[in-house]
């Protein structure tokens, strides 16, 4: 996990693991991490036991296939998001987080944006992931919707299924705002600009590529600006800017680049709203992060989003760009709408566990009661 919600989730866990290590023997635990990642850096700086593995395919496969040489049979292995390690099938006791929601939403053509061969490859990869999960001993889901779908799905119905809800990262809260390089990106915008943050990587599922078309439908563009967090040299971002330039709306897009976990709270504090236009999510850190930072939330209108957000979001029909633009314009014109969403976000947040609760749930699965 190089970025995004998965990285936030792991970093929050590591932070709490380090803070609470006096309650248990931390030396009993070892973390498998990607080499040169933020996770490795954290483990190294805080004296946590870890093994770093090159993210290159052959290196990972070799490590996974030889895992049973290194550790005793029956060891518990918690994988935050992903299937069991190849060599651990029926060897480790595997506890695996599940984030491949497209497997449980077959009605959605998740890979529709790719060509024929691309779609075939991706669907074969999904079948492999599903097969791999059949070797998990316990599977963790983040929403009731996915859990209920899994209970009747052939691959999962005979497994131990757990619900551990997503929570705001321990690194994201109003008291985690720091002085950061990000601020100067947004200081150049007019003071009355309504800034919509789309905190996401460059996956087409996130549908950031529709931003230029949304902007083109606004009648008063200077009041609306989208904030992106994409690698400036990525082809996906370059495509967005080409479309924006063609439509004459490029000045209403600000890209602050890839964001580190400890910068997320600071970035959110500088915007007016957060958005998530994804085709599908298992859950999204954007939801809980918007609520905890008291920002209104815009999301795709779908069963997965309504199940997760209830009345704590403005739902948008992303297939109808003109309606999206009209809904956003109307929202910003009425202050009461914004305050109501913030209040509803507070209520929804109270239904979620805390980061500490979530950490305790994970540790309990590993046999540690705190």
The answer to whether residues 22 and 124 belong to one domain is: yes
The answer to whether residues 225 and 336 belong to one domain is: yes
The answer to whether residues 214 and 284 belong to one domain is: yes
CA 224, 226, 227, 233 dihedral sign is negative
The answer to whether residues 91 and 206 belong to one domain is: no
Integer Cα distance of 275 and 299 in angstroms: 6
Integer Cα distance of 158 and 168 in angstroms: 31
The answer to whether residues 236 and 319 belong to one domain is: yes
Q: What is the chain's mean pLDDT, rounded?
A: 88
CB 127 within 8 A of CB 110: no
For the question of whether the overall pTM of this predicted structure is more than 0.95, the answer is no
Nearest 5°: phi and psi at 298? -105, 130
The three-class DSSP label of residue 249 is: coil
Look at strands 50-53 and 76-79 and give their pairing.
unpaired
Question: Residue 78 maps to which CATH number?
Answer: 3.40.50
Q: What is the pLDDT of residues 281-326, one digit of tens each?
A: 877 788 999 999 999 999 999 989 998 899 999 999 998 998 999 8
pLDDT of residue 222: 64
Q: What is the pLDDT of residues 211-264, one digit of tens each?
A: 999 999 887 666 899 999 999 998 999 999 999 999 999 989 999 888 888 888
Percent of the chain with pLDDT over 70: 96
Nearest to 236 by CA among 260, 204, 261: 204
Look at strands 194-198 and 50-53 and give their pairing.
unpaired
- On whether residue 252 sits in a domain, the answer given is yes
Written as six digits, the tokens of 327 are 């809904």
Distances (CA, A) of 73 to 26, 133, 157: 20, 19, 25
Q: What is the pLDDT of residues 152-183, one digit of tens each?
A: 988 888 889 999 988 877 778 888 887 667 77
- On whether residue 241 sits in a domain, the answer given is yes
pLDDT of residue 78: 94
| Chain CA centroid to CA 72, Å | 33
Which range in 1-10, 89-98, 332-341 is most confidently predicted, on average pLDDT? 89-98
Integer Cα distance of 124 and 296 in angstroms: 38
- On whether residue 152 sits in a domain, the answer given is yes
pLDDT of residue 1: 46
Integer Cα distance of 152 and 157 in angstroms: 6
The answer to whether residues 130 and 241 belong to one domain is: no
Written as six digits, the tokens of 36 are 């040169």
Mean pLDDT score, 75-88: 91
CB 316 within 8 A of CB 329: no
The answer to whether residues 142 and 225 belong to one domain is: no
Nearest to 224 by CA among 288, 298, 313, 136: 298
The answer to whether residues 133 and 259 belong to one domain is: no
Mean pLDDT score, 335-353: 90
- How many domains in the chain? 2
Nearest to 262 by CA among 175, 176, 168: 176
Q: What is the pLDDT of residues 105-122, one digit of tens each?
A: 888 888 887 788 888 998
Integer Cα distance of 348 and 45 in angstroms: 35
- On whether residue 217 sits in a domain, the answer given is yes
Q: What is the CA radius of gyration of the chain?
A: 21
- On whether residue 68 sits in a domain, the answer given is yes
Question: Residue 263 maps to which CATH number?
Answer: 3.40.50.2000
Integer Cα distance of 142 and 161 in angstroms: 11
- On whether residue 299 sits in a domain, the answer given is yes
The answer to whether residues 185 and 161 belong to one domain is: no
Integer Cα distance of 295 and 199 in angstroms: 13
pLDDT of residue 187: 73
- On whether residue 64 sits in a domain, the answer given is yes
The answer to whether residues 42 and 20 belong to one domain is: yes
The answer to whether residues 28 and 63 belong to one domain is: yes
- On whether residue 370 sits in a domain, the answer given is no
The answer to whether residues 233 and 162 belong to one domain is: no
**Helices 4-19 and 355-365: angle between axes, nearest 10 degrees:** 80
Q: Give the range of the structural domain holding residue 230, as residue numbers without chain letter.
A: 174-350
pLDDT of residue 340: 93
Among 2-16, 53-67, 152-166, 355-369, whose mean pLDDT is lowest? 2-16
């Amino acid at each position: 996990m190089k970025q995004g919600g998965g990285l936030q989730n792991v970093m929050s866990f590591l932070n709490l693991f380090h803070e609470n290590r006096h309650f248990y023997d931390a030396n009993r635990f070892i973390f498998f991490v990607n080499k040169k990642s933020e996770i490795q850096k954290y483990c190294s700086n805080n004296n946590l036991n870890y093994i770093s593995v090159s993210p290159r395919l052959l290196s990972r496969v070799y490590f996974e296939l030889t895992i049973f040489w290194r550790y005793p049979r029956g060891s518990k292995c918690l994988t935050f998001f992903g299937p069991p390690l190849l060599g651990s099938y029926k060897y480790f006791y595997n506890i695996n987080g599940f984030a491949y929601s497209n497997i449980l939403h077959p009605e959605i053509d998740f890979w529709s944006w790719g060509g024929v061969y691309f779609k075939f490859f991706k669907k074969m990869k999904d079948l492999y992931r599903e097969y791999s999960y059949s070797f998990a001993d316990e599977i963790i889901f983040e929403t009731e919707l996915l859990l209920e779908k899994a209970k009747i799905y052939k691959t999962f119905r005979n497994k131990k299924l757990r619900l551990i809800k997503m929570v705001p990262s321990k690194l994201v809260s109003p008291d985690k705002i720091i002085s950061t390089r990000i601020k100067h990106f947004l200081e150049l915008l007019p003071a009355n600009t309504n800034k919509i943050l789309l905190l996401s990587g460059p996956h087409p599922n996130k549908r950031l590529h529709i931003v230029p078309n949304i902007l083109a439908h606004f009648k008063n563009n200077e009041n609306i600006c989208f904030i992106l967090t994409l690698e400036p040299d990525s082809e996906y971002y370059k495509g967005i800017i080409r479309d924006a330039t063609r439509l004459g709306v490029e000045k209403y897009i600000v890209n602050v680049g890839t964001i580190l976990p400890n910068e997320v709270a600071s970035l959110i504090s500088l915007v007016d709203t957060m958005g998530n236009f994804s085709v599908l999510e298992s859950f999204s850190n954007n939801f809980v992060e918007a609520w905890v930072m008291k920002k209104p939330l815009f999301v795709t209108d779908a069963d997965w989003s309504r199940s997760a957000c209830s009345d704590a979001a403005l739902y948008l029909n992303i297939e109808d760009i003109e309606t999206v633009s009209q809904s956003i314009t109307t929202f910003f014109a009425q202050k009461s709408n914004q305050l109501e969403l913030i209040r509803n976000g507070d209520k929804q947040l109270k239904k979620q566990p805390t980061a500490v609760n979530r950490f305790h749930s994970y540790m309990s699965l590993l046999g540690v009661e705190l």
